[in-house]
Amino acid sequence: MRGAEFERKVRKLARRKGLPCSFVPDQGIGSHGRLYLGAEFTALKDRKKEIGAGLLVKMCRDLKIDPREL
């Protein structure tokens, strides 16, 4: 899964759960940014690159969501 696809799926999940979701590119170094889901956030690497399985699980843990919900 690429970063942009992860962001899209998190936004869709946020709509279903009624939570605010936003991406702030200024709060990261280089191509990284911060993805907020409600009060939780995670660092989102370059949205054009692939996200490995381990990183995907860590990002979902940061956002307190189950990866299977995506």
Domains of the chain in start order, with CATH, are: 3-69 (3.30.920)
CA distance 12 to 37: 11
Given the structure tokens 């939570």, which residue do they identify?
Answer: 19
Q: What is the pLDDT of residue 50?
A: 94
Lookup: tokens for 39: 């009060």
Q: What is the pTM of this model?
A: 0.89
Provide the pLDDT for residue 26: 84
What stretches of the chain adopt beta strand conformation (E)? 21-24, 33-37, 40-44
Segment-wise mean pLDDT, segments of 10 residues, the chain, 70 residues: 94 96 85 93 91 94 93
Residues 6 or more apart whose CB falls under 8 angstroms from that of 20 comprise 14, 36, 37, 38
